[in-house]
Amino acid sequence: MALNETHDPQLRSWVAAANAAGADFTLQNLPLGVFRRAGSSEAFRGGVAIGDQIVDLAAALQAGVLDAPMAAAQPVMNEFMAAGPAAWSALRLALSRALRSGSPQQAALQPCLLPQAEAQFALPARIGDYTDFYTSIYHATAVGKLFRPDNPLLPNYKWMPIAYHGRCSSIAISGQQFQRPWGQILAAGEATPMLAPSQRLDYELELGVFIGRGNVLGTPIAIESAESNVFGLCLLNDWSARDLQAWEYQPLGPFLGKNFATTISPWIVTLEALEPYRVPWTRPAADPQPLPYLDSPQLRRTGAIDIELECLLQTEAMRRSGQAPCRLSRSNFRHAYWNIAQMVAHHTVNGCNLLPGDLLGTGTQSGPPAAEAGSLLELSAGGKQPLTLPDGETRRFLQDEDAVIMRGWCEREGAARVGFGELVGRVQKHVG
């Protein structure tokens, strides 16, 4: 994609909150999601975030303010995702012009706004399949050292994007609360596993990638066109029960340690909105270079995206005393060893067909230093080094009623800030 008038950092909106310093949902962002008025029985419908407001696309289309496909206003956005980049870009341009300061459409569009604080959100798409990748070499190496000290990074990691197929039925929108999972655990020094609640519950700081146009079964997606099949990105927390995972993952990989909950943020930020934050994708010269189907000149020039990621924790004690969440770590997606186009190209190279609304996870996004780890497993060195929180509490892994908050944003001089909003999930005690 190329920069266009929607990226102009000088543009301002008549929605005042969109112009505030540190605003996530600027006029240059315009992410999409699905919502309804909180506490109502209204149908869910498509919307666009601007400042602290939501443009109700159904209302705007009904009022004739926007000339856009009705698919964008549906309770799920799969049909609009399938429409392709030209349709997505056209809606973005129309909204940008309608929401700019001085727009003649302001009077007609203003009644179509709803404050985000008064909205309830739903999954933005009917997710037919979910694949979670493992794109951070820093995370893969750190975790590998904990489980395989003599051989932390398996040889295939540097040759292809590694992934597993997850469970889409337990994916929920931000605000998800779930019970602590039970499963088989093999305690240290024991020969017989026991059925018990997980004591090593963890989060994983990730991005989610929503597929737009899919591909026909048997027809791979080429690396050069892979990103035209991507609708946009969201935040993703792939909750993990590390003790269940450690016992079950050999020989076939994650199962009960992963499938009990996955949380995503409500808003999908399009790749077009992220265009000003492209940076070169690089591979160390001493490492194996990707096979031709995973490499291209365009990928090398602009294949990485500079997205800051942050994870915070708020314990029950912190909430009771009115303390704000504390930051656990901060990292950046630009450090990913494998990028979005490579994920899509590899996923389909065997002929696998992706469908509109399918979700890919990037895997835990850890940065080069240990302090930029995207999971407690890394931050606590497998539970051996507890973290001390500002109120004196300690954590090796998550406890009941802990809330994990994730945020993401892009920001640099000469470009408007583009944010992802917030993802929140909370662990509840298992009942029964």
Catalytic residues: 139
6 SS3 class:
helix
One-letter-per-residue 3-state SS of 231-262: EEEEEEECCEEHHHHHHHCCCCCCCCCCCCCE
Contact residues for 166 (Cβ-Cβ < 8 A; gap 6+): 130, 131, 132, 238, 254, 258, 259, 262, 361
Q: Which two tokens stand for residue 48?
A: 């666009």
- Tell me the C-alpha distance between 167 and 151, whole Å: 29
End-to-end CA distance of the chain: 52
φ, ψ at 264 (rounded to 5°)? -125, 155
CA dihedral 166, 169, 172, 176 (to 10 degrees): -100
Q: Which two tokens stand for residue 366?
A: 């850890």
Burial of 142 (0-12, 13-18, 19+ CB in 10 A): buried
Q: Which two tokens stand for residue 70?
A: 């009705």
- Tell me the C-alpha distance between 254 and 130, whole Å: 13
Burial of 129 (0-12, 13-18, 19+ CB in 10 A): middle
269 SS3 class:
strand
Number of residues that make up the chain: 432
Q: Please name which of 266, 270, 241, 267 lies closest in space to residue 256, comparing C-alpha atoms.
A: 241
Amino acid at 326: C
- Tell me the C-alpha distance between 118 and 344, whole Å: 36
Q: Which two tokens stand for residue 177?
A: 């609360």
Q: How many angstroms separate the Cα of 127 from the Cα of each of 30, 124, 131, 173, 206?
A: 22, 9, 11, 12, 17
